[in-house]
């Protein structure tokens, strides 16, 4: 393993002294060599850093980077850090129908981040709405094709307090904010992740996650790139086009560690049931970072992977967020899935996780997400009074420690609002049991029905199991009903020929929450609003519903 320095530069240099490599898969390979030792990529990044320095990039600069996962993109990320500058990774458009919104948001983030330079893949250059006064733009392939000699690169001094990453939040509940992550926060979280996963020099990471999302950028690119681990790296579009490839990549590479959200493991389970000749016996970390983690999806994945040699202990449900750099709580390695079985009605009415038997009526299974990682602390407080809660009492999860952001870039009001006497308010509702964290949902998303706190994830998960509904593409939210009380609305993407599922959705919701929804809205596939990282945008969906902007079937 490499240096424990609090500077990414020192760690990148140390990793370049190992024999490990990155293998670019599918479209990520493009026209460039698919297998690249970290040492070679580091040399190329040094050369590119010299080019960037000649263009004015210096310590303290912010460099916006936009493009699909490729070898030049990864090189540009490292080159930015080697200049002492911070990366501002810009999201790619989720859907073609949102191009205008993508163009506007991209420019807004570039300007909000005070970007000194924009590095962009040539394929996306036409989507950059450049106006007078905007920062200069450099095409990625041109930079990569003709860098100056690496001996012209002027290495800056290590500065643990300098920004390494300006990570814009995905905007699932609000407008995106720029999370400031200095080198000391990033390296502290990298060390915590390595410790929590018990990473070794012979571990092999596999990833298709987007590099503009913290789990993809920090968890599955920066860790191998700074610790000298072998990495097989694909692009998100390759996984989405053929999810079975993820499992094939794990088998081919002898992958030991990977990560993904709930929906990806549901897709993987389907693929594992039909694929043959896979060897997943090396797999020991299958991190699921979506909150709350669906235990049914996890168990289906484990069952489907058993015949391919998948160890059930590889399941690794975790909790993380951009404001903590990435990881907050981890389970013990090899422990597998652990659930807390609670009385659903008591949870909704008394905000207390009363333990019950799984056979009890109203029993609800919630995934345990482990304990705080090295250097972090977690507590649960009453969101109204800030009073610390006891075990099993539901409140707002708060965190503090070495890898927590110092705040949001140029947003002092938002920074003051998110901190409570040194503790960062996460906006998540949850509880602790024997030191382990359980997440119930987002505070802003809770639906109050007849004095009960109904968590939309419970409704969405239940409705996703209906044959005519697209798995993972359901949004539940509350709004004022016809009688002046909060009502439950369910919007679901219907599968082809699924227009007759409204009654089934209503029946399923009634069974879950004890009351029918005010309305069930079916929409076409691919129309539910999502963040750049694929999370459902409940607030935006609610706004579109109230404004009659949903295209109904």
- Does position 378 have pLDDT exceeding 50, yes or no? yes
Q: How far apart are CA 423 and CA 504, in angstroms?
A: 44
φ and ψ of 160, to 5 deg: -60, -25
Lowest mean pLDDT among 5-19, 145-159, 303-317, 388-402: 145-159
pLDDT at 502: 87
Beta bridge partners of 288: 260, 317
pLDDT at 427: 94
- Does position 1 have pLDDT exceeding 60, yes or no? no
- And the tokens for 514? 């004890």
The 3-class secondary structure across 247-312, one letter per residue, is HHHHHHHCCCEEEECHHHHHHHHHHHHHCCCCCCCCCCEEEECCCCCCHHHHHHHHHHHHHHCCCH
Residues 203-239 have pLDDT tens digits of 999 999 999 999 999 999 999 999 999 999 999 999 9
Confidence of residue 484 (pLDDT cuts 50, 70, 90): low
Q: Is 108 exposed, middle or buried (0-12, 13-18, 19+ CB in 10 A)?
A: middle
533 or 397, higher pLDDT:
397
Name the residue among 224, 279, 221 with its Cα closest to residue 248: 279
Q: How far apart are CA 496 and CA 93, in angstroms?
A: 25
Q: How far apart are CA 472 and CA 470, in angstroms?
A: 6
The tally of CA atoms less than 13 A away on the side-chain side of residue 329 is 28
- Does position 192 have pLDDT exceeding 90, yes or no? yes
pLDDT at 553: 83
pLDDT at 499: 54
pTM, rounded to two decimals: 0.91
Query: What's the rounded mean pLDDT across residues 122-131?
Result: 88
φ and ψ of 166, to 5 deg: -110, 95
**What does the mean pLDDT of the chain come to?**
92
pLDDT at 342: 97
Name the residue among 214, 217, 240, 181 with its Cα closest to residue 319: 214
- Does position 495 have pLDDT exceeding 70, yes or no? yes
Length of the chain: 553
Confidence of residue 146 (pLDDT cuts 50, 70, 90): confident
Query: What's the rounded mean pLDDT across residues 431-459?
Result: 91
Query: What's the rounded mean pLDDT across residues 307-320?
Result: 97
- Does position 173 have pLDDT exceeding 50, yes or no? no
- Does position 172 have pLDDT exceeding 50, yes or no? no
Angstrom CA distances, 116 to 79, 134, 521, stand at 15, 9, 45
What three-state secondary structure class fits 142?
Answer: helix
Query: What's the rounded mean pLDDT across residues 291-302?
Result: 88
pLDDT at 214: 93
436 or 500, higher pLDDT:
436
Confidence of residue 149 (pLDDT cuts 50, 70, 90): low
What three-state secondary structure class fits 384?
Answer: coil
- Does position 10 have pLDDT exceeding 90, yes or no? yes
Domains of the chain: 8-236 (3.40.50.12780), 339-444 (2.30.38.10), 446-546 (3.30.300.30)
Sign of the torsion angle spanned by Cα atoms 399, 404, 406, 411? negative
Confidence of residue 513 (pLDDT cuts 50, 70, 90): confident
């Amino acid at each position: 393993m490499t240096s424990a320095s609090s500077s990414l530069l020192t760690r990148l240099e140390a990793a370049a002294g190992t024999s490990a490599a990155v293998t670019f898969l599918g479209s990520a390979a493009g026209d460039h060599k698919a297998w690249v030792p970290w040492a070679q990529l580091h040399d190329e990044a040094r050369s590119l850093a010299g080019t960037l320095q000649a263009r004015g990039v210096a310590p303290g600069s912010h460099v916006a980077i936009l493009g699909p996962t490729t070898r030049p993109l990864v090189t540009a990320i490292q080159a930015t850090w080697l200049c002492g500058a911070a990366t501002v990774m810009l999201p790619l458009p989720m859907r073609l129908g949102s191009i205008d919104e993508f163009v506007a948001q991209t420019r807004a983030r570039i300007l909000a981040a005070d970007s000194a330079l924009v590095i962009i893949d040539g394929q996306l250059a036409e989507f950059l709405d450049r106006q007078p006064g905007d920062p200069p733009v450099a095409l990625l392939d041109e930079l990569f094709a003709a860098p100056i000699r690496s001996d012209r690169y002027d290495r800056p001094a290590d500065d643990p307090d300098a920004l390494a990453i300006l990570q814009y939040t995905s905007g699932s509940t609000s407008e995106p904010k720029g999370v400031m992550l200095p080198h000391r926060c990033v390296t502290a979280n990298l060390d915590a992740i390595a410790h929590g996963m018990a990473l070794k020099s012979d571990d092999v990471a596999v990833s298709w996650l987007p590099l503009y999302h913290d789990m993809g950028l920090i968890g599955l690119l920066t860790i191998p790139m700074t610790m000298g681990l072998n990495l097989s790296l694909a692009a998100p579009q390759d996984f989405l086009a053929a999810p079975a490839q993820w499992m094939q990549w794990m088998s081919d590479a002898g992958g030991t560690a990977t990560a993904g959200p709930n929906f990806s493991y549901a897709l993987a389970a389907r693929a594992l049931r039909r694929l043959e000749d896979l060897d997943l016996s090396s797999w020991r970390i299958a991190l699921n970072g979506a909150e709350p983690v669906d235990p049914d999806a996890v168990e289906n994945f484990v069952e489907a992977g058993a015949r391919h040699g998948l160890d059930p202990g590889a399941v690794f449900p975790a909790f993380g967020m951009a404001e903590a750099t990435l990881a907050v709580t981890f389970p013990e390695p090899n422990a597998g899935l652990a659930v807390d079985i609670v009385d659903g009605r008591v949870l909704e009415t008394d905000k207390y996780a009363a333990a019950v038997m799984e056979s009890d009526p109203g029993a609800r299974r919630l995934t345990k997400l482990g304990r705080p990682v090295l250097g972090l602390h977690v507590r649960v407080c009453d969101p109204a009074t800030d009073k610390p809660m006891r075990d099993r009492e539901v409140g707002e999860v708060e965190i503090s420690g070495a890898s927590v952001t110092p705040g949001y870039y140029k947003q002092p009001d938002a920074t003051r609002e998110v901190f409570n006497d040194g503790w960062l308010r996460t906006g998540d509702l949850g509880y602790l049991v024997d030191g382990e964290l359980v997440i119930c949902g987002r505070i802003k998303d809770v639906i109050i029905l007849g004095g009960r706190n109904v968590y939309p994830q419970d409704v969405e998960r239940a409705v996703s199991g209906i044959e005519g509904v697209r798995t993972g593409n359901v949004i539940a939210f509350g709004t004022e009903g016809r009688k002046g009380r909060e009502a439950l609305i369910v919007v679901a993407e219907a599968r082809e020929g699924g227009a007759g599922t409204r009654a089934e959705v209503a029946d399923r919701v009634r069974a879950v929450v004890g009351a029918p929804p005010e309305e069930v809205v079916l929409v076409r596939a691919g129309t539910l609003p999502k963040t750049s990282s694929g999370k459902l945008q409940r607030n935006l969906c609610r706004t579109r519903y109230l404004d009659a902007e949903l295209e109904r079937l």
